[in-house]
Structure 1
Amino acid sequence: MENRLVKDDGIYDYVIVGGGAAGCVLANRLSENPSTKVCLLEAGPDDNNLYIGMPAGFVKVSGNARYTWNFSTEATALTGGRPIGLLQGKTLGGGTSVNGMAFNRGQRADFDEWAALGNPGWSYDELLPVFRDLESRESGDPHYRGRNGPVAVTDVKWNDGLCEAFINGSVECGIPRNSDTNGERQEGVTFSQVTIKNNRRVSSSSAFLRPARSRHNLRVVTEALATRVLFDHKRATGVIYQRGETLHRVQATREVVIACGAINTPRLLQVSGVGDARLLKEIGAPVVHDLPGVGSNLQDHYMALLVARGRNFRSINQLARAPQVWWQVLLWSMGMQGILSLPVALVHYFFKSGLGNGDADIQGIFTPASHMTGEQGTLDKAAGMTCAVWQHRPLSRGHVKARSIQMSETPLIQPNYLDHELDRKVLIAGCRRTRAILTSSAMKAYFDTEMMPGDFVQSDDEWLDFARQTGSTVFHPVGTAKMGPASDTMSVVDSSLRVHGIQNLRIADSSIMPTLTSGNTAAICMVIGEKASRLILDRQNAKRAA
């Protein structure tokens, strides 16, 4: 491919690679100055599919190769010899256009740890104003919550009796009610906070990119697969991308900003010649800069599912079937509440395993729907309910490695799920507490039978085997281009998100996170995009002042 003719495709101040959660924020902020030329490259298509805007439409786009990267992890004994499907968004908005719409920031301790690892500017108190500026939320303590930001954060409203019973059951099992798990503390149970407004998904694209797309100085190129970052010695100068059968070259006079996520960002660096020199030589990439941390430090949330048969309520299983589903379509088309307006999880619960210190170290979600077998989105006929539970801060670490210099070849992804003993113990504790909630007295009127794993699973070994054989990812990979000082030889970017040893190259996505946060990653990825924008603009303003 490198011998093919490359078409020159413009000169810009900034070239952003990746139109996901962070990339859309960057495109908006950097193009606010009409004299600044910005080009945003996105490998996937536009986000104008009806199912992207419809909250329940995630079942139609998740796994669709047009809108998601359908990666898989390497199998291990701790995943029952199974590869795990690790989908990532591939459309404008990235994961925020195809995810479950949960909005969880994470805990104070997560970000204070980042700062303690040598990353000034990334503590909780320093990031809190960015979180507030990001969101529009009607309730909550204004010290912690924003009122006028572009991202609407609302509460799930679903008065079926079952969800309230589950909340009561959680309280019965020692988990306190908490009306705002994104406020002063996270521990507790509540209806989920989600990025949904007026029954439609709010993505990074709809919140940030859509208002900016009419700007003459912003160019958005979709279905543009970045295949190389270009360098002049150790200075990034632009990007080669493929659109259709044609290769294009875009040049950046100020900076190239990579925002491709924790899987695609390290492999783009590797095929471009930035990474562990031994791997670069193995795949035939030129060694532009030996940076061994690229692709290392992979972390992800690994979940177990508990599924139960229910009674005395109408679950989503029944409402999603004809003829009832046609009434639900009508409700959504009229802007009224129905199952098509719902996210993946209706209730979130955060609790302590007793195996660590600080705030909650386990997260769970609950929804009045179930499916045991068959294709994703194929619901059971009978009433059912599902809980997913996972450890917040896993200690297991893995890696991402390009297999060749071609971005068209899928990378090797090895998260090493459950590799650390504590990860196994915490997940088992989470499963046990979740079973206790489902079988609590508050749930007695609604709970019928545990279908998965079933009552035969009782001992720790049995719970672990169940998690190994059936567990999966929560789709939160991070850490593969981690932020840290130059003294940390495995760090990839500094606290300003500049790649160590390379000029004019930054990274702004989940890959820079040194450790996985205690929540879903969409919110913090948008914050990373906003933080990166401020760092870039502050630098430009300082240059002008000088």
Structure 2
Amino acid sequence: MVGNGAASPEADLEFDYIVVGAGSAGCVLASRLSESGRHSVLLLEAGPKDRHIWIHIPLGYGKLFKEKTVNWMYQTEPEPGLDGRSVFQPRGKVLGGSSSINGLLYVRGQHEDYDRWRQRGNVGWGYEDVLPYFKKAENQQRGANEYHGAGGPLSVSDWRHDDPLSEAFVKAAVETGIPYNPDFNGATQEGAGFFQTTTRRGRRASSAFSYLRPAKGRGNLCIETDALAQRLVFEGRRARAVEFRQRGAVRTARARREILVSGGAYNSPQLLQLSGVGPAELLKQHGIDVVLDAPGVGNDLQDHLQVRIVTRCSQRITLNDIINHPLRRVAAGARYAAFRKGPLTIAAGTSGAFFKTDPRLATPDIQIHFIPFSTDKMGEQLHTFSGFSASVCQLRPESRGSLRIRSADPAAPPEIRINYLATETDRRANIDGLRILRKILAAPALKPYVVDEVYPGAKLVSDEDLLAFCRQTGSTVYHPTSTCRMGHDALAVVDERLRVHGIEGLRVVDASIMPDLVSGNTNAPVIMIAEKASDMILQDAS
């Protein structure tokens, strides 16, 4: 058997388990399934090793936003609810997947999210069922307690930079009546406070760093990078092998036990469709033999929309001021190099809040990400003026979209339709969320720092104006899910053990299996899903 590194094209590749995709879930699976030494595991990743320097520096997510060497750089189709704009969809194409290029926030969602999954017939996925797996994964800086674990692979840390703006935001939110919350992942999510991040001593703790690096020396684990899975090979209705392209050669690896697809909400349904598992009409249209007519594959795509307010700051204390000043920029770099602290540890949110736009709601429906910098578009040049941003994110959108292959070419990007703002509930939540955020930004604690609202601008006050602003500027928070949804209805793709309905020897393990979108960032839930899946796979093997 081949160890870490590339196998020769002539080698007969056969493993107990093949994991397709070395992202947030795939790295967990590869580590846990190879841990005992009893099972051989092949991990396939379409992208390169995680050597890019900006992967490991927290603020580097801005540099990787449009870095095509580690990013699929997808685009949606023109979105009717966003004035026909296409929305950029960055997804990780590197060891660690999106956990190597994301905004690093550790947010689990609400207890009620998982109870809702269970109530939809997914036995074993209630909050009390999944909490042990969150804790198992976690190495919490604050130590273990009822809600957190210590000693797990994934480092979860407090922010390593003192920022008066981020502190003022929390105080301002409290002044408007939102309670202070020291732990968004504890007893309740509601409140204002500071985000924790997946970092270790000021460096990014991706799933590749946390799970894969400690496992790389195992003789029963083979990691193949630059290996694009082209299709799954079936014998009847049983998945037997994976065909992949690597450095110009097409190779095939056989699985003695199972194939585990972990490509994420876009690439997992894409691979299933390319392999003949998906809507029959779509597959026939592209000349693909139908293995299983599964209309739910690529269905129910969901994502979080964000709408940002940009505020001009009265003091030169923002990241804009640091990055745009040569000496301050060098000093920030030197501080990070020496102490792993300072502005380069800034994640995609420093402080934030979760609140209800309607008191009749049982749980918060809006998340705020506050960051001490501003830009017209994420990943682009920071503004030359002193500025900061806060974005509204509706937590449980009703809008649903789809993922469809465009052709039988595995290298062709899929057709992505999310249908943002397609329902009145979604439109109302974003308008009301912006109004509440404006109240926070106008509260006494932030007044010393505010000059004016750059956009949407004080003149936009009506519902119609604010909705138009959402349509003109709204974008993704990078949380696509649910395209291979777990359940037992006609459009469900996997069962509660993540086995693909109607197929043997095949599971999907990633964000695509979520019955619906969690109320918050998705990286921590995906790692939990993979931890739980690893246990189920090993249980079924014995």
| TM-score category, normalised to shorter length | over 0.9
Question: What amino acid sits opposite 2:387 in the alignment?
Answer: G
State the aligned residue count.
533
Distance 2:204 2:307 in 1: 26
2:199 corresponds to 1:189? no
**Post-superposition shift, 1:344?**
1.9
Question: What is the aligned partner in structure 1 of residue 310 from structure 2?
Answer: 307
Residue 504 of structure 2 aligns to a residue whose secondary structure is coil
Question: What is the aligned partner in structure 2 of residue 291 from structure 1?
Answer: 294
**Post-superposition shift, 1:165?**
1.4
The question of whether the paired residues in 1 share the 8 Å contact of 2:143 and 2:150 is answered with no
Identity %: 42
Distance 1:418 1:99 in 2: 24
Residue 60 of structure 2 aligns to a residue whose secondary structure is helix
Q: Deviations over 1:229-252 (max 9, x none)?
A: 010010000100011211010110
Question: What is the aligned partner in structure 2 of residue 331 from structure 1?
Answer: 335
Distance 1:100 1:53 in 2: 12
Question: What is the aligned partner in structure 1 of residue 278 from structure 2?
Answer: 275
Question: What is the aligned partner in structure 1 of residue 490 from structure 2?
Answer: 489
Residue 297 of structure 1 aligns to a residue whose secondary structure is coil
Distance 1:452 1:350 in 2: 22
Q: Deviations over 1:208-248 (max 9, x none)?
A: 00100110110000011000001001000010001121101
Q: Deviations over 1:364-419 (max 9, x none)?
A: 1111101136x824111221000111100101111000011111111111011110
Bigger shift: 468-477 or 28-37? 28-37
2:525 corresponds to 1:521? no
Question: What amino acid sits opposite 1:293 in the alignment?
Answer: G
Distance 2:90 2:165 in 1: 30
Alignment match of 2:40 (pick from 37, 42, 45): 37
Question: What is the aligned partner in structure 1 of residue 220 from structure 2?
Answer: 217
Q: Deviations over 1:176-227 (max 9, x none)?
A: 1000110000001111111112110011111100100110110000011000
Distance 1:162 1:329 in 2: 21
Distance 1:9 1:380 in 2: 55
Question: What amino acid sits opposite 1:51 in the alignment?
Answer: W
Residue 300 of structure 2 aligns to a residue whose secondary structure is strand
The question of whether the paired residues in 2 share the 8 Å contact of 1:481 and 1:491 is answered with yes
Structure 1 residues 355 and 8 mapped into 2: Cα distance closer, same or farther (>3 Å)? farther
The question of whether the paired residues in 2 share the 8 Å contact of 1:19 and 1:91 is answered with yes
**Post-superposition shift, 1:160?**
3.0
Structure 2 unmatched ranges of 5 or more: 1-8
Question: What amino acid sits opposite 2:527 in the alignment?
Answer: M
Q: Deviations over 1:339-383 (max 9, x none)?
A: 11221211121111107521211001111101136x824111221
Question: What is the aligned partner in structure 2 of residue 442 from structure 1?
Answer: 445
The question of whether the paired residues in 2 share the 8 Å contact of 1:185 and 1:359 is answered with no
Alignment match of 1:391 (pick from 387, 391, 394): 394
Question: What is the aligned partner in structure 2 of residue 512 from structure 1?
Answer: 513
Question: What is the aligned partner in structure 1 of residue 347 from structure 2?
Answer: 343
Question: What amino acid sits opposite 1:256 in the alignment?
Answer: I
Distance 1:242 1:372 in 2: 38
Distance 2:144 2:410 in 1: 46
- Structure 2 counterparts to residues 99-248 of structure 1, below 5 A: 99-139=102-142, 142-248=145-251
Distance 1:513 1:372 in 2: 32
Question: What is the aligned partner in structure 1 of residue 6 from structure 2?
Answer: none
2:423 corresponds to 1:410? no
- Structure 2 counterparts to residues 424-435 of structure 1, below 5 A: 424-435=427-438
Residue 68 of structure 1 aligns to a residue whose secondary structure is coil
Residue 443 of structure 1 aligns to a residue whose secondary structure is helix
Distance 2:174 2:271 in 1: 47
Residue 387 of structure 1 aligns to a residue whose secondary structure is strand
The question of whether the paired residues in 2 share the 8 Å contact of 1:157 and 1:191 is answered with no
Structure 1 residues 206 and 336 mapped into 2: Cα distance closer, same or farther (>3 Å)? closer
Question: What amino acid sits opposite 1:509 in the alignment?
Answer: D
Distance 2:80 2:279 in 1: 27
Residue 445 of structure 1 aligns to a residue whose secondary structure is helix
2:68 corresponds to 1:61? no
Question: What is the aligned partner in structure 1 of residue 50 from structure 2?
Answer: 47
Structure 1 residues 211 and 380 mapped into 2: Cα distance closer, same or farther (>3 Å)? same
**Post-superposition shift, 1:159?**
2.6
Structure 1 residues 211 and 194 mapped into 2: Cα distance closer, same or farther (>3 Å)? same
**Post-superposition shift, 1:313?**
4.4
Bigger shift: 131-140 or 27-36? 131-140
Question: What is the aligned partner in structure 2 of residue 369 from structure 1?
Answer: 373
Question: What is the aligned partner in structure 2 of residue 255 from structure 1?
Answer: 258
Distance 1:9 1:474 in 2: 42
Distance 1:261 1:201 in 2: 20
The question of whether the paired residues in 2 share the 8 Å contact of 1:160 and 1:313 is answered with no
The question of whether the paired residues in 1 share the 8 Å contact of 2:154 and 2:210 is answered with yes
Question: What amino acid sits opposite 1:497 in the alignment?
Answer: L
- TM-score when normalising by structure 2: 0.96
Question: What amino acid sits opposite 2:38 in the alignment?
Answer: S
Residue 78 of structure 2 aligns to a residue whose secondary structure is coil
Distance 1:173 1:214 in 2: 53
Runs of 4+ in 1 over 6 A off after TM superposition: none
**Post-superposition shift, 1:80?**
1.2
Alignment match of 2:363 (pick from 359, 362, 369): 359
Bigger shift: 228-237 or 154-163? 154-163
Distance 1:7 1:532 in 2: 32
Distance 2:168 2:484 in 1: 43
Residue 296 of structure 1 aligns to a residue whose secondary structure is coil
The question of whether the paired residues in 2 share the 8 Å contact of 1:313 and 1:446 is answered with no
2:434 corresponds to 1:423? no
Alignment match of 2:17 (pick from 14, 19, 30): 14
Question: What is the aligned partner in structure 1 of residue 481 from structure 2?
Answer: 478
Structure 1 unmatched ranges of 5 or more: 1-5, 542-546
Distance 1:356 1:11 in 2: 56
Distance 1:176 1:471 in 2: 27
Residue 13 of structure 1 aligns to a residue whose secondary structure is strand
Question: What is the aligned partner in structure 1 of residue 469 from structure 2?
Answer: 466
Distance 1:143 1:340 in 2: 32
**Post-superposition shift, 1:29?**
0.5
The question of whether the paired residues in 1 share the 8 Å contact of 2:63 and 2:379 is answered with no
